[in-house]
C-alpha cells in the first residue's frame, strides 16, 4: 500500500526543490517528490511526496522544514487505495517489438525474445503502453538514434503517459539526466509504479528519472535542467503546435526532438511550426497513418540571439499529456 503526503508551497519553493535535495537524497527510502501548480490565478502550488510506507514524524518534520511557508500547516497524509488500472478492453493487448525493445503485459512475461530489451507495461489509465503505433514509432526512433551514435546527456519526456519512452531512453543512455512529465498526476503515479516494476531508479542525478506534473514544459524542474540534448513528445498535433516555441527553446542547438501523436494529414502544420523555431526534419519513422518525426535544432554560430522563455502562463491548449 502506498502513501502520499501533501503540503502547500510557493512557486519559489517548488523551484528550489527541482534540483538536488541532499536531505532527501540521504534517506534510505527517499520519497518521490512531485510539485504542481493547483491554482494559476492565485499562484498556489502543492508538494506531493509518495512513499511505500506510512511516513513517520521525522519525515513529516523534514518535509515541512523544506517548505518554510508550510511550517505551521498540518501535512495531509493519505493512504492510497490500491486500484486496478487494467481495464477489460486492454487485457488482450499484444506485445510490441520496436527496434531492440519488447514491450509486453504480464500475460506475455514468459515470452520475451532472446536478445531484446523488455519492458513490462500493463494497461493503465495513462496512455503509452507501447501498443499504439505512435509509441512504437518513438521506440524505434530512439533505437535508430542510438545506432547512429547519438549520446544525449540531458533528456526530457514531455507527456510521458506510462513512462515507457523515458525508460527506453535511460536504457540507451544510462548516464544521462532524464526527466519525465505529464499534465495528469495519475500518469506520474503510474510512471512511478512502472519504474519500480522495470528497475528504473528515480531521483534527480544522472542515471535516475526525475518526475514532474506539468502542462508542457511549464515546471521549475523542467526549466532548471534545460536545454536538452533530446526532447521526446508523444502527444497530439494541436498541443505539439502550441508547444513548438517552448520545445524549440528547450532543445539545445544540435539537439534532437522526437515528436509523435499526429496523424499523416497533420504533419505539414507540425513541420511548419517547428521549422519556425529553427528545427529541421531529419527523419520520418512510425507508420503511414501515424508518423514519428525526428528534428534537429540548427546550431548557431557567431553572435547568439536572445532565446525566448519556453514556458507560458496560459497555454492555448492545456489538453497535452497522456491521452
Q: In which order are the strands placed within the sheet that holds 2-9?
A: 32-39, 44-51, 2-9, 76-80
**Rounded Cα distance, 80 and 91, in Å:** 24
pLDDT at 307: 43
pLDDT at 19: 61
Q: Are residues 210 and 152 in the same domain?
A: yes
Output the domain CATH number for residue 62: 3.30.70
Cβ neighbour number for residue 206 with a 10 Å cutoff: 13
**Rounded Cα distance, 197 and 194, in Å:** 5
Q: Are residues 292 and 204 in the same domain?
A: yes
Output the domain CATH number for residue 205: 3.40.50.150
Single out the residue of 41, 69, 50 nearest to residue 5, CA to CA: 50
DSSP state of 150: -
The strand ranges marked E within the chain are: 2-9, 32-39, 44-51, 76-80, 96-98, 101-104, 117-120, 154-158, 177-182, 209-213, 228-234, 251-260, 279-286, 291-297
234 is in an annotated binding site: yes
Q: Are residues 53 and 140 in the same domain?
A: no
pLDDT at 12: 84
Cis peptide before 227 (omega within 30 of 0): yes
Does residue 312 lie in a domain region? Answer: no
Q: Are residues 47 and 144 in the same domain?
A: no
The reported pTM is 0.71
pLDDT at 155: 98
Q: Are residues 134 and 273 in the same domain?
A: yes
Lowest mean pLDDT among 163-167, 245-249, 298-302: 298-302
Q: Are residues 137 and 69 in the same domain?
A: no
pLDDT at 20: 67
**Rounded Cα distance, 69 and 214, in Å:** 22
Q: Are residues 270 and 170 in the same domain?
A: yes
159 is in an annotated binding site: yes
**pLDDT tens readout for residues 114-131:** 999 999 998 654 445 445
Does residue 106 lie in a domain region? Answer: no
Does residue 110 lie in a domain region? Answer: no
**Strands 2-9, 44-51: pairing kind:** antiparallel
pLDDT at 87: 46
182 is in an annotated binding site: yes
Lowest mean pLDDT among 85-94, 108-117, 133-142, 208-217: 85-94
Number of domains comprising the chain: 2
Please report where in the chains the cell 523534514 appears, as a residue: 62
pLDDT at 311: 45
Q: Are residues 132 and 75 in the same domain?
A: no
- The band of 18, judged by pLDDT with boundaries at 50, 70 and 90, is low
Q: Are residues 261 and 188 in the same domain?
A: yes
The maximal CA–CA distance of the chain, rounded, in angstroms, is 58
Cβ-contact 179, 158 below 8 angstroms: no
Please state, for a pLDDT cut of 90, what percent of the chain lies above it: 58
Q: Are residues 30 and 134 in the same domain?
A: no
Average pLDDT for the chain: 85
Does residue 26 lie in a domain region? Answer: yes
Q: Are residues 151 and 274 in the same domain?
A: yes
Q: Are residues 190 and 272 in the same domain?
A: yes
pLDDT at 232: 98
Does residue 15 lie in a domain region? Answer: yes
Please state, for a pLDDT cut of 70, what percent of the chain lies above it: 85
Of 51-65, 96-110, 160-174, give the range with the top mean pLDDT: 160-174
pLDDT at 108: 84
Tell me the residue range of the domain where 165 lies: 128-297
- In the Cβ-directed half-sphere of 189, how many Cα atoms lie within 13 Å? 18
133 is in an annotated binding site: no
Does residue 121 lie in a domain region? Answer: no
Top-confidence residue, 108 or 117: 117
pLDDT at 254: 97
Does residue 249 lie in a domain region? Answer: yes
Tell me which of 80, 114, 143 is where a domain ends.
80
- The band of 82, judged by pLDDT with boundaries at 50, 70 and 90, is low
Does residue 268 lie in a domain region? Answer: yes
**pLDDT at residue 323 greater than cutoff 80:** no
**pLDDT tens readout for residues 270-322:** 999 999 999 999 999 999 989 999 999 998 765 444 444 444 433 333 333 33
Amino acid at each position: 500500500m502506498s502513501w502520499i503526503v501533501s503540503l502547500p508551497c510557493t512557486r519559489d519553493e517548488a523551484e528550489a526543490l527541482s534540483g538536488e535535495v541532499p536531505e532527501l537524497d540521504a534517506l534510505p527510502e527517499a520519497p518521490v517528490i512531485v510539485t504542481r501548480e493547483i491554482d494559476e490565478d492565485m499562484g498556489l502550488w502543492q508538494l506531493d511526496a509518495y512513499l511505500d510506507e506510512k511516513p513517520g514524524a521525522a519525515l513529516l518534520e523534514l518535509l515541512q522544514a523544506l517548505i518554510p511557508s508550510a511550517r505551521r500547516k498540518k501535512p495531509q497524509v493519505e493512504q492510497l487505495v490500491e486500484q486496478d488500472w487494467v481495464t477489460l478492453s486492454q487485457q488482450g493487448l499484444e506485445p510490441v517489438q520496436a527496434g531492440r525493445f519488447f514491450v509486453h503485459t504480464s500475460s506475455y512475461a514468459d515470452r520475451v525474445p532472446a536478445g531484446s530489451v523488455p519492458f513490462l507495461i500493463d494497461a493503465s489509465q495513462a496512455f503509452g503502453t507501447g501498443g499504439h503505433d505512435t509509441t512504437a514509432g518513438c521506440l524505434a526512433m530512439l533505437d535508430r538514434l542510438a545506432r547512429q551514435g547519438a549520446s544525449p546527456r540531458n533528456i526530457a519526456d514531455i507527456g510521458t503517459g506510462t513512462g515507457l519512452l523515458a525508460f527506453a531512453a535511460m536504457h540507451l543512455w544510462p548516464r544521462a539526466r532524464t526527466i519525465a512529465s505529464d499534465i495528469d498526476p495519475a500518469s506520474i503515479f503510474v510512471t512511478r509504479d512502472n519504474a519500480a516494476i522495470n528497475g528504473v531508479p528515480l531521483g534527480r542525478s544522472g542515471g535516475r528519472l526525475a518526475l514532474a506534473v506539468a502542462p508542457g514544459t511549464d515546471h521549475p524542474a523542467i526549466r532548471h535542467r534545460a536545454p536538452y540534448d533530446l526532447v521526446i513528445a508523444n502527444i497530439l498535433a494541436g498541443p505539439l503546435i502550441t508547444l513548438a516555441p517552448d520545445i524549440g527553446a528547450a532543445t539545445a542547438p544540435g539537439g534532437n526532438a522526437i515528436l509523435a501523436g499526429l496523424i499523416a494529414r497533420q504533419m505539414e502544420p507540425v513541420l511548419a511550426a517547428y521549422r519556425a523555431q529553427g528545427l529541421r526534419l531529419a527523419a520520418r519513422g512510425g507508420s503511414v497513418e501515424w508518423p514519428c518525426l525526428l528534428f534537429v535544432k540548427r546550431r548557431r554560430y557567431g553572435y547568439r540571439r536572445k532565446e525566448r522563455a519556453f514556458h507560458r502562463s496560459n497555454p492555448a491548449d492545456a489538453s497535452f499529456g497522456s491521452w
